[in-house]
Structure 1
Amino acid sequence: MTENTDRISIAARLRNNFLTGLIICAPLAITIWLTWSFIRWADSWVKPYIPTRYNPENYLQFAIPGTGLLIALIVITMVGFLGKNLIGRSIVSYGESVLHRMPLVRTVYKSTKQIFETVLKEQSSSFKKVGLIEFPHPGTWAMVFVSTDAKGEIAAKLNEAGEEMVAVFLAPTPVPTAGFLMFVARSKLKLLDMSPEEGVKLLISAGLVTPEYKPSPEGAMAAFKDLPLSDTVEPQRAAVKR
């Protein structure tokens, strides 16, 4: 009986050690693989366009991973720097005017530029808030990422009742690369204190990785104000008497 118990305890310890090692090694291996894959993808796109005389691999006996990615970052930064001065803005405006004359290209360019300007704008609040909406039916809640307020024709059509509408992105689990764009009333949206990064973790893990709840100061003050006067004053009086 003792031998069987010892065997079970040894097997349980080995299983626990394996699971602990898996928790440590799996995220590290996946992170390294994704980073390496991204570097190789960037190199495969950039290196063919590097002139031979400027490619350091032609002077070395081995390949340097990340050369294409580094050169791409330098070129993009230089283009952004040149695009801020008068000459650069003139060149960009001329290039955009040429693209706007092309029937199919102008639609793709304008849409892509608008998306990048909205997402990468420093003061933009797009996808910086997480909320809950009742979906697919009342009583069932789904997590969404708040995009922006409804604008243009959609706002004119949906705001007829006087209720402000908000555009939200409903992403599926566990791969949030596609989803649904939905317009909901602001009063039907429950904002959460968690960050978008924490929301993505919760979404990808199917609810297994729950972020720690840290109430905002505004929410704590609102909860304090909602308390009855007797609940806040009487304990203080009792403490003073003691």
Structure 2
Amino acid sequence: MNQVIGKILRYFFQGLLLVIPIALTIYAITASVQWLDSLVKLPFPGLGLAIMLITITMIGLFTSNVLSHRVIEMVEALIIKIPLVGIIYSSSKDLIDAFVGDKKKFNQAVLVTENEANGIQKLGFITQKDLNSLGLPGKVAVYLPHSYAFSGVLILVPSENVRPLNAPSADIMKFIVSGGVSGIDKLERKK
């Protein structure tokens, strides 16, 4: 009888491993589409998302023009001069640029030795290789993402405590964000 219950429990947990990620993904997509649809009150589900995607693409097309770049730079210069608004705008713009812009910052995964005596190391990404302008020669800025969160910490460490990793940044980010349970198996298969 115990073996039967054990098998049923094992099957149940195997089912959970399959169902939960799928359910969470569907929920996240559905919630996002519903939220976007609520911004643009339309009778058809998903139409708000389609309109937003088309609008964003059209804005991207418009801003790829040289004349548009000058207009955007002038508008940005005005926005940045507004107290508080300028900080929010420039910070969010820099963050988006770090992930998808021409100035991607999370493209060099590194291993940081935090405490050599205890052998403590952390995974992160170099965001600035030269901190001379801050009066910190020989130091680099490394962003350490937190697991299971959209947050992290920025540390400034001597460059000799940072070792570049020979692995795709996306896989390292996935490994960090998942708390070390995801991503490494793919790296091993690629070798």
The alignment's TM-score, normalised by the length of structure 2, stands at 0.80
Is there any run of 5+ residues in structure 1 with no aligned partner, and where? 1-6, 49-54, 58-63, 218-242
Residue 111 of structure 2: SS of its match in structure 1?
A: strand
- Aligned counterparts of 1:84 and 1:187: Cα–Cα separation in 2: 40
Q: Deviations over 1:8-58 (max 9, x none)?
A: 22122212211211111111111111111111222223x05xxxxxx5x3x
Higher strand content, 1 or 2? 2
Contact map agreement 2:131 2:141 (CA 8 A) in 1: no
Q: Which residue of 2 aligns with 1:130?
A: 109
Give the 3 Å change call, closer, same or farther, for CA 131–32 of structure 1 in structure 2: same
Q: Deviations over 1:106-137 (max 9, x none)?
A: 34333433443344323x34112322212356
Contact map agreement 2:114 2:121 (CA 8 A) in 1: yes
Contact map agreement 2:110 2:165 (CA 8 A) in 1: yes
**Does 1:28 pair with 2:22?**
yes
How many corresponding residue pairs?
A: 189
The alignment's TM-score, normalised by the length of structure 1, stands at 0.65
User: Match for 2:179 among 193, 199, 206?
Assistant: 206
Contact map agreement 1:125 1:148 (CA 8 A) in 2: no
**Does 1:186 pair with 2:159?**
yes
Q: Deviations over 1:185-231 (max 9, x none)?
A: 232112223333322332344333351344999xxxxxxxxxxxxxx
User: Match for 2:150 among 168, 172, 177?
Assistant: 177
Contact map agreement 1:129 1:196 (CA 8 A) in 2: yes
Give the 3 Å change call, closer, same or farther, for CA 133–16 of structure 1 in structure 2: same
Contact map agreement 1:118 1:126 (CA 8 A) in 2: yes
- Aligned counterparts of 1:167 and 1:181: Cα–Cα separation in 2: 7
Matches within 5 A, 1:84-163: 84-100=64-80, 102-122=82-102, 124-135=103-114, 138=117, 139-151=119-131, 153-154=133-134, 157-159=135-137, 163=138
**Does 1:82 pair with 2:62?**
yes
Deviation, 1:98, is: 4.1
Residue 146 of structure 1: SS of its match in structure 2?
A: strand
Higher radius of gyration, 1 or 2: 1
Contact map agreement 1:193 1:214 (CA 8 A) in 2: no
Q: What fraction of aligned residue pairs are identical, expressed as a percent?
A: 24
Give the 3 Å change call, closer, same or farther, for CA 135–207 of structure 1 in structure 2: same
Matches within 5 A, 1:208-227: 208-209=181-182, 211-212=184-185, 213-214=187-188
Residue 36 of structure 1: SS of its match in structure 2?
A: helix
Q: Tell me the C-alpha RMSD between the 2 structures.
A: 2.9
Matched residue type, 1:36: T
Residue 29 of structure 2: SS of its match in structure 1?
A: helix
